[in-house]
Structure 1
Amino acid sequence: MMYFSAEIPEQDYPELVSLWEASVRATHHFLKESDIAFYKSLILGGYLQEVALCCMRNESGRMMGFSGTAEGKLEMLFVHPDYRNEGVGKKLLLHAIENQGVNLVDVNEDNVEAAGFYAHFGFKTIGRSALDGAGNPYPILHMELQ
């Protein structure tokens, strides 16, 4: 059994960041160790406070995945590797679309699986940036729900 938790108190941020790191290590194989440390510092340094967070928890309360949205854009969606392919990402995405008005997402071009996931739910690529939001050379696909 899974359930949504729209309120994520700051005392749960360490669990959330741990989930983020596990997810990134399982899916972002193009990142170097120094990149992971860099992005982790950004998340810890304020990214979490800039988005509306939502998570899915299992019956024992363990965080399975989370999303962060702002102004109609899905800013982050990460699923713990232990719960991949169990519908957690789908439920988080549909919740963001239906309840938070999400119709935009940026995804790393090198994360082909994620780009395919969003395309499966009707997102189309509407643009591309050679650099990511932090100015690093990781191309970003800008996608919009059609």
Structure 2
Amino acid sequence: MFTIRRAQAGEGDRIVEIWRAAVDATHDFLSTEDRAAIDAEVCAFLPHAPVWLAVDGKNRPLAFMLLDSGHMEALFVDPAVHGRGIGAALVRHALALHPGLTTDVNEQNGQAVGFYERLGFRPTGRSPCDGQGRPYPLIHLAHPG
């Protein structure tokens, strides 16, 4: 069982821990250098970002989502709890707040592409690089709302 709530002060380290574990489990396409650079960027930003959390019965964060208006900037689930519906629940929460939600997904992350497609997202475009200009193509997705 889990609930969804806003992150609280002092949870930044756990959020970064979730990010690192999820990226290590799903982003094997990243070069070692890019992985290190992205890690530094995430550590500087993520602990202070206004994220939504899925937490277990002991209030321990299991996954997080970052929303910017109607765009989901990030969704990461601890690999130890993959496949339990936690990511889908966070997306449903975001859709309740923002029907017509958009997001971007790394093209090389086939598991994530399939996840979003199963939830009803459809491609709206493609970029040859990620948001920082690195050579990791993005698929732009939108939910019909």
Q: 2:15–2:47: 8 Å Cα contact kept in structure 1? A: no
Q: CA deviation at 1:35?
A: 1.9
Match of 1:141 in 2: 139
- TM-score normalised per structure 2: 0.92
Mapping for residues 1-146 of structure 1, pairs under 5 Å: 1-6=1-6, 8-47=7-46, 49=48, 52-101=50-99, 103-146=101-144
What is the percent sequence identity of the aligned residues?
32
Q: 1:20-73 deviations in whole A, cap 9, x for unaligned?
A: 0000001111112322221122222225645x4101111122211010000200
In structure 2, C-alpha distance between the alignment counterparts of 1:143 and 1:121, rounded to whole Å: 11
Matched residue of 1:86: which SS?
coil
Q: Tell me the distance in 1 between the aligned counterparts of 2:98 and 2:48.
A: 16
Structure 1 length normalisation: TM-score?
0.91
The runs of 5 or more residues in structure 1 that have no matched partner are none
**Larger CA deviation: 25-34 vs 126-135:** 25-34
- Residue aligned with 1:137, SS: coil
Residues 122 and 145 in structure 1, CA contact (< 8 A), matched pair in contact too:
yes
Secondary structure of 2:10's counterpart equals helix
Cα distance in 2, alignment partners of residues 102 and 137 from structure 1: 28
Answer whether contact 1:23 1:81 (CA < 8 A) is retained: yes
Look up the SS of the partner of 2:93 in the other structure.
Answer: helix
**Conserved 8 A contact 1:69-1:102:** no
Structure 2's unaligned 5+ residue stretches are: none
Cα RMSD over matched residues? 1.5
Q: Distance in 2 between matches of 1:3 and 1:47?
A: 21
How far is the alpha carbon of 1:101 from its aligned partner? 4.3
Asked whether the 8 Å contact 2:12–2:46 carries over to 1, the reply is no
Q: Post-superposition shift, 1:10?
A: 3.5
